[in-house]
């Protein structure tokens, strides 16, 4: 199952978004345009649906309702999120989850609505009679209470459907890898952020896997990294001083043949490549990668893309959403990137906020790619910020050709 569509209203710097998502999706745009905020809409739903999360938690770690609400929205307008889930891009929507959040007269966040549709049929519509019987407005979503048999009364089949939906959303994986936090395992913030966004607990999760499966995955990663890191002919797991974790050990041909080094001696790029590959092979149905190029060179990126794009092209494999400034992720001969897989962000007017649209909505990109240009050649021009001449022209409202002044 994949998330096939994302719809937002009054979310952070987006007044309105309605965008399809593919098994492989790229989000591009200049710095400060809102790529992280767009991804955070999916993380927000994941934080609600996780067992340790909930609506109150998801709002609290983001600073409250006002911090996630579009600044030009009216006071009574709700923050609205909707996702469509489908078995594939070719099949119709199976689940449709809609959530609206507003504030009560005291300013406390409350549900404006929560709806679930299955194959077009409305199976949950809140507020309902049970909500109306309570003295206060609902402040919990059904996603976070579906596993309780004492909180709400819906049919068993509806409850099972919503549990399936909650399990999917709660298993969304996000990685914005930080090698410093990976190397230093001593607890200090942000050690226990749900979802492990910085990849700090990858080795702890690896330690919980059956050893044969863990070693099988490591052999695959080792083979890939031999090409990307040629001076490291062997990568393996090693015991850790923590009973619930492991450590990494590599054999390097540096200084002396077959020298062994621990993960504290690994380069940032080696750790990042390992973290991306390991996260990709975990069982979560959707992996969000934010700025994965930060520690990787172009050769390593190409090697990682070969593996990840091959998996995304296979039915039933992991959905991949990548936020990036790097055109290298758009370059692939074996699995060419299509315009419909690229979301571009651009600045709208102050009351519109950031606009999101597909590269396939730009005729020039489509024409260029039909004429033989690859995505890495055709798209980056449209993902850049305006140049100084364009900025001054727009600011002054002149529209003049400044080269002829």
H or E, element range at 259: strand 256-262
The rounded distance, in Å, linking the Cα atoms of 79 and 100 is 6
Sign of CA dihedral 355, 359, 365, 366: negative
Please compute the mean of the pLDDT values over residues 154-167 and round it to a whole number. 84
* Of the listed ranges 146-150, 153-157, 192-196, 366-370, the one predicted with least confidence: 146-150
- Chain region(s) in the chain for CATH 3.40.50.300: 1-172+331-361, 200-325
CA-only gyration radius of the chain, Å: 23
pLDDT classification of 132: cutoffs 50, 70, 90: low
What angle, rounded to 10 degrees, do the helices at 211-228 and 268-281 form? 140
The percentage of the chain sitting over the pLDDT mark of 70, rounded to a whole number, equals: 84
Mean pLDDT of the chain: 83
Nearest in space to 245 (alpha carbons), one of 214, 283, 223: 214
pLDDT classification of 233: cutoffs 50, 70, 90: low
Q: Tell me the backbone φ, ψ of residue 202, rounded to 5 degrees.
A: -55, -45
Q: Domain 200-325 is of which CATH architecture?
A: 3-Layer(aba) Sandwich (3.40)
Statement: residue 164 has pLDDT above 80 = yes
pLDDT classification of 295: cutoffs 50, 70, 90: confident
Q: What tokens were used for 99?
A: 């959530």
Residue 63 in 3-state DSSP?
Answer: coil
Contact 40, 12 (CB under 8 A): yes
The rounded distance, in Å, linking the Cα atoms of 307 and 313 is 10
CATH fold of 1-172+331-361: Rossmann fold (3.40.50)
Q: What tokens were used for 272?
A: 């990042």
Strands (E), 54-211: 79-86, 93-103, 109-118, 121-126, 173-175
């Amino acid at each position: 199952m994949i998330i096939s569509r994302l719809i937002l209203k009054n979310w952070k710097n987006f007044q309105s978004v309605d965008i399809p998502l593919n098994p492989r999706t790229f989000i591009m745009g200049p710095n400060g345009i809102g790529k992280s905020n767009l991804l955070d809409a999916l993380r927000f739903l994941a934080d609600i649906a996780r067992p340790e999360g909930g609506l109150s938690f998801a709002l609290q770690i983001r600073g409250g309702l006002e911090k996630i609400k579009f600044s030009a929205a009216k006071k009574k307008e709700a923050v609205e999120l909707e996702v469509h889930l489908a078995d594939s891009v070719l099949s119709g929507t199976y689940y449709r989850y809609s959530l609206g959040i507003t504030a009560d007269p005291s300013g406390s966040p409350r549900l404006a609505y929560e709806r679930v549709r299955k194959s077009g049929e409305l199976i949950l519509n809140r507020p309902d009679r049970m909500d109306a019987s309570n003295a206060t407005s609902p402040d919990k979503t059904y996603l976070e209470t579906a596993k309780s048999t004492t909180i709400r009364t819906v049919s068993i089949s509806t409850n099972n459907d919503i549990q399936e939906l909650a399990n999917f959303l709660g298993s969304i994986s996000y990685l914005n890898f930080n090698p410093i936090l990976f190397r230093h395992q001593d607890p200090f913030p942000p050690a226990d952020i749900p979802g492990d966004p910085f990849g700090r607990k990858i080795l702890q999760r690896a330690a919980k896997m059956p050893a044969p499966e863990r070693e099988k995955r490591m052999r695959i990663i080792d083979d890939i990294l031999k090409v990307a890191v040629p001076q490291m002919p062997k990568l393996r797991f090693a015991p850790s001083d923590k009973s619930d974790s492991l450590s990494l050990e590599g054999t390097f041909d540096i200084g002396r043949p077959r020298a062994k080094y621990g993960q504290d001696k690994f380069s940032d790029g080696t750790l990042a490549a390992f973290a991306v590959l390991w996260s990709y092979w975990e069982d979560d149905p959707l992996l969000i990668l934010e700025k994965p190029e930060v520690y990787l060179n172009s050769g390593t990126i190409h090697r990682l893309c070969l593996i990840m794009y091959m998996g995304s092209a296979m039915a039933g494999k992991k959905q991949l959403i990548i936020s990036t400034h790097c055109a290298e992720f758009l370059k692939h001969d074996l699995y060419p990137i299509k315009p419909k897989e690229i979301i571009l962000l651009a600045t709208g007017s102050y009351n519109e906020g950031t606009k999101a649209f597909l590269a396939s909505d730009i005729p020039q990109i489509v024409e260029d790619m039909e004429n033989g240009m690859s995505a890495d050649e055709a798209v980056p021009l449209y993902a850049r910020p305006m140049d100084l001449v364009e900025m001054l022209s727009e600011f002054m409202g002149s529209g003049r050709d400044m080269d002829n002044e």
